[in-house]
């Protein structure tokens, strides 16, 4: 039995295989319509979600399986004080695989040690979000045709942005990757990522507060939301929330084949006027997430 808690739980070869499967699903979805017949996915979401929960559920239905679960901690016995371990031991009696989101960093890892079925981390606090990274990787593959030799700008909340942390881990395994880290001082990438990943692997990176100054260098611009739910102080959130707002005029110096990505939800950080730009890829990411989650569910269930 195998869980996916961190994107590094999957080798680059396994990611290549998942991408191959996802592309095959896109080409021939009918072939996969009964692959998970009589299997059940449990979605245990202790924190709000639109894309991740619904795409996991859509993925399982499109594989012919069924879904049980809850969408908020207060709809479960966690509200009565039940531990994460007891919750997943219980749900292991009902489901073949569990996708779990939790506001506390490390909760899905704890769950994976107690569960008797595979656990997929669907986002843990400001830590990791490996299945968003799978969606991001399929998007990069389909838009750029490669994972090597890319300059990737990461913009916004790099401190609490779990999608950013997972994407850095994933992309750091390829050759010729360079990161431009664009954030306010207060939301810089945590030292544990800078030191344990970028410095340790000698990956070139620059830190800046100025998005426009680096726009022309980027192959990928990955925008992120400043996350109100991660702040202890509302005044800090209000001060920082509109640090970066991508508008069409700011893309004037950008490459023609730039991929503008965002894990969503967005608030103000990308103007809706950018949605019509051919370089906007964020709704493609949403759809790619469903296909990669289908591929991952099959892999963890041992479905051929
Ligand atoms: N990208 C993402 O995790 O979105 P949700 O919070 O809506 O699941």
Q: Kindly report, residue by residue over 210-250, the tens digit of the pLDDT.
A: 999 999 999 999 999 988 777 778 888 888 888 899 999 99
- Most ligand 1 atoms within 8 A of CB, residue of 69, 71, 229, 263 to mutate: 263
- Most ligand 1 atoms within 8 A of CB, residue of 265, 285, 287 to mutate: 265
Distance CA 270, CA 262 (A): 9
User: Which pLDDT does position 111 carry in this prediction?
Assistant: 98
Could you tell me what percent of the chain has a pLDDT over 90?
92
Tell how far the Cα of 53 is from the centroid of ligand 1, in angstroms.
Answer: 8
Active site (annotated) includes residue 102: no
Nearest CA among 119, 145, 120, 151 for reference residue 133: 120
Q: Kindly report, residue by residue over 259-277, the tens digit of the pLDDT.
A: 999 999 999 999 999 999 9
Least confident of 2-16, 130-144, 221-235: 221-235
Distance CA 198, CA 219 (A): 19
Say yes or no to pLDDT of 15 above 80: yes
User: Which pLDDT does position 234 carry in this prediction?
Assistant: 85
User: Which pLDDT does position 229 carry in this prediction?
Assistant: 78
User: Which pLDDT does position 237 carry in this prediction?
Assistant: 83
Reduce the DSSP state of residue 283 to 3 states and report it.
helix
Could you tell me what percent of the chain has a pLDDT over 70?
100
Residue 55 alpha carbon, nearest atom of ligand 1: 8
Burial of 191 (0-12, 13-18, 19+ CB in 10 A): exposed
Tell how far the Cα of 130 is from the centroid of ligand 1, in angstroms.
Answer: 12
User: Which pLDDT does position 241 carry in this prediction?
Assistant: 86
Q: Kindly report, residue by residue over 180-191, the tens digit of the pLDDT.
A: 999 999 999 999
């Amino acid at each position: 039995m195998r869980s996916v808690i961190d994107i590094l739980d999957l080798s680059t070869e396994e990611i290549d295989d998942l991408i191959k499967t996802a592309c095959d699903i896109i080409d021939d979805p009918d072939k996969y319509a009964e692959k998970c017949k009589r299997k059940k996915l449990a979605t245990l979401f202790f924190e709000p979600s639109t894309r991740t929960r619904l795409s996991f559920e859509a993925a399982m239905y499109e594989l012919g399986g069924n879904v049980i679960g809850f969408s908020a901690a207060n709809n479960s016995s966690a509200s009565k004080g039940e531990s994460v371990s007891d919750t997943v031991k219980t749900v292991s009696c009902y489901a073949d695989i569990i996708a779990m989101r939790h506001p506390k960093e490390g909760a899905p890892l704890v769950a994976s040690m107690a569960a008797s079925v595979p656990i997929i981390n669907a986002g843990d606090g400001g830590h990791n979000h490996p299945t968003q990274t799978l969606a991001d990787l399929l998007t990069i593959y389909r838009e750029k045709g490669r994972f090597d030799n890319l300059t990737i700008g990461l913009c916004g909340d790099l401190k609490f942005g779990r999608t950013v942390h997972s994407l850095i881990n994933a992309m750091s395994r390829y050759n010729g990757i360079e990161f431009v880290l664009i954030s306010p001082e207060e939301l810089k990438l945590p030292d544990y990522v800078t030191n344990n990943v970028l410095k340790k692997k000698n990956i070139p990176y620059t830190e800046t507060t100025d998005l426009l100054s680096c726009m022309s260098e980027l192959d990928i611009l990955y925008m992120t939301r400043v996350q109100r739910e991660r702040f202890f102080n509302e005044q800090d959130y209000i001060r920082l929330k509109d640090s970066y707002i991508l508008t069409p005029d700011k893309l004037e110096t950008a490459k023609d084949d730039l991929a503008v990505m965002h894990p969503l939800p967005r608030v103000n950080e990308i103007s809706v006027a950018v949605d019509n730009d051919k370089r906007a890829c964020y709704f493609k990411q949403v759809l790619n997430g469903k296909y990669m989650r289908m591929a991952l569910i099959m892999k963890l269930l041992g479905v051929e």
